[in-house]
Structure 1
Amino acid sequence: MSEAGVIHDIGYQRYEGPKLGRGALFGSLYVHGIRASFGLGRSAKAKIFPWLVAGIGLLIAVIDAGVKAKANITLFDYYQFDETMGILVVFFVAIIAPALVSRDLRAGVLPLYFSRPVRASDYVMAKVAALISAVWLLLGVPQLIMFLGAAFTTKTGMKGVWHEAGNLLPGWGYSVLWAVLFSAIGLLIASVTGKQAFAAGGIVALFVVTTPIVGVLSILPSETSRNLAGLASPETLVGGISTWLRNKPNAGIDIGSFGPIYGIEFVCLVAALLLLLLARYRKVASL
């Protein structure tokens, strides 16, 4: 007696709709990254820290706007707000960067991503853009509240509003510098391990270790050493660029005439971090 195979029709059909390309996949990764940065679509536990940091930033901005409205006193400008939030930004990146990339490494889903039209460069740029956007929103939204508070309490009409807008836009640009550098550092470190705790500890450790180096260099007898001390830490590097671009020697770290050196290091450092991150994921994609 011969056995015959039986084909069962279980209702599967070929997909005949529109096929989205790399652009749509990049957009999906980017939007998912921003949502994950603030815990949207995740558990309540994942929302606590990012929204706590965001709440602190908003509270600081509201207090500044209130004091300016009542007493016409500015507690800090837009640049100083970023520097005030500096330590919180470090911890925000330390928590969020591993959530964006370490989880994928641990779950082993990268081969699934790269089996589609997504390239390693698409994945890297989507994650970088998402974290940069999240950090910028963390800083930029409170700055907008500070602007609105100043604009509605100005006593010089539209002239005062335009003057305040002229201060806000460079402040937003300064926030972009913080977001770009810190995000690139955080994602590169997080891409090394699938364990989020190790990645977060490594990110915080980098900032903790580099800060004393700046302190040591800044007390050396050589004036050149003191002026270049800020190059040793991400926070002081960005602060040095602010001092250079604003041409205010007393606004932050003393950089002397080495402002262009700070700008060159920033560009080279960010480029190197992104290239290393891309090389890391191209290696993963080839496995």
Structure 2
Amino acid sequence: MSEPTGVIHDIGYQRYTGPRLGRRHVFGALYLHGLRTVFGLGRTAKAKIFPWLVVGIVTLVAAGITAVRSQIGEVVMTYAQFADSMSWLVIFFVAVAAPELVSRDLRSGVLPLYFSRPLPRDDYPLAKLLALVSAIWLLLGGPQLVMFLGAAFTTDKGMRGVWDELLDLLPGLLYAGLWAAVFASIGLLVASLTGKRAFAAGGIVAVFLMTTPIVGTLSILPSRTINELAFLASPSTLVGGVGTWALGDLLVPEGRGGGVPIGGFGPVYGVAAVLLVAACVALLLLRYRKVAAR
């Protein structure tokens, strides 16, 4: 019988005996990492240029609106209108941020590493989605807060004026949340379909911009019903229709006109927005269940 030739060397590795934080902390870490990724925090200077350029633009616009209002003493733009006016910029923000959140992981093949841990398959996309929703809401809500502070410090009505401004601000923040939910759910779903960030970004922009001509075509047909329902065909006008219905004068002050001409179909727009977000989230979860099963 031959003697064993192998030797086991003890080089000092020890088992981990620290706390196991569990699912909630894993989800929180994914969420915080995603939020930092959107704004380029902890990454190279190049990764910070676009997101912070967008942040600077929307903040500068809000500061300009506040300055003009303080000079003329009239509301130049409501908080909800601010979200509407920045929607085109938010599209490009989502087109850059969503691929950074999910396409990079698909391309680099790190998802099996995530799912090799005790991480429920749905937590990964939900954490990424929540991070993108939070980022868009901060992008729109932060400048609204700047507008509020400017109005609060220049009001001549005392605390009553500050309270009135707060009552106008809160629906504006909720409206910004609607923009964030719709844009993030669509953007992340499209980005999850490919590992190539350029293709993902192009697909996101196409979904938002190529639906606009459809709205234009339907809105000029000789049918009032079709005209009023035409704005369901584009995510941007869909959100605008919900705002027109739900916010009324808070979106478009009385006597100024404007808003999305949806007639009496406001509830239809509200239900459509909820169903759109729910469908995108369901498809996103299904997508990652299939990825995990490979």
| Shared fold (TM-score, shorter chain, > 0.5) | yes
Q: Show the counterpart of 2:173.
A: 172
Structure 2 unpaired stretches of 5+: none
Q: Is the 8 A contact 1:243 1:251 kept in 2?
A: no
State the alpha-carbon separation in 1 of the partners of residues 158 and 248 from structure 2.
28
Q: Show the counterpart of 1:161.
A: 162
State the alpha-carbon separation in 1 of the partners of residues 220 and 43 from structure 2.
47
Q: Show the counterpart of 1:241.
A: 242
Deviations 1:26-68 (CA, angstroms, capped at 9, x unpaired): 0000000000000001111110000000000000111111112
Pairwise CA RMSD: 1.1
State the alpha-carbon separation in 1 of the partners of residues 281 and 9 from structure 2.
51
Q: Is the 8 A contact 1:140 1:172 kept in 2?
A: yes
The offset of 1:6, in angstroms, is 1.5
Q: Tell me which amino acid in the other structure corresponds to 1:64.
A: I
The offset of 1:83, in angstroms, is 1.2
State the alpha-carbon separation in 2 of the partners of residues 73 and 12 from structure 1.
69
Q: Show the counterpart of 2:227.
A: 226
SS in 2 for 1:120: coil
Q: Show the counterpart of 1:268.
A: 275
Q: Tell me which amino acid in the other structure corresponds to 1:257.
A: G
The offset of 1:216, in angstroms, is 0.7
The offset of 1:80, in angstroms, is 1.1
The worse-fitting range, judged by mean Cα deviation, of 61-70 and 88-97 is 61-70
State the alpha-carbon separation in 2 of the partners of residues 122 and 246 from structure 1.
33
Q: Is the 8 A contact 2:228 2:265 kept in 1?
A: yes
Q: Tell me which amino acid in the other structure corresponds to 2:81.
A: Q
Structure 1 unpaired stretches of 5+: none
State the alpha-carbon separation in 2 of the partners of residues 275 and 246 from structure 1.
28
Q: Show the counterpart of 1:65.
A: 66
Percentage of identical aligned residues: 62
Q: Show the counterpart of 2:50.
A: 49
State the alpha-carbon separation in 2 of the partners of residues 23 and 91 from structure 1.
31
State TM-score, norm by structure 1: 0.98
Q: How does 1:51-200 map to 2 (within 5 A)?
A: 51-200=52-201
State TM-score, norm by structure 2: 0.95
The offset of 1:70, in angstroms, is 2.1
The worse-fitting range, judged by mean Cα deviation, of 244-253 and 51-60 is 244-253
State the alpha-carbon separation in 1 of the partners of residues 248 and 20 from structure 2.
52
Q: Tell me which amino acid in the other structure corresponds to 1:186.
A: G
Q: Is the 8 A contact 2:171 2:247 kept in 1?
A: no
The offset of 1:251, in angstroms, is 4.0
Poorly superposed stretches of 4+, deviation over 2 Å: 1-4, 246-251
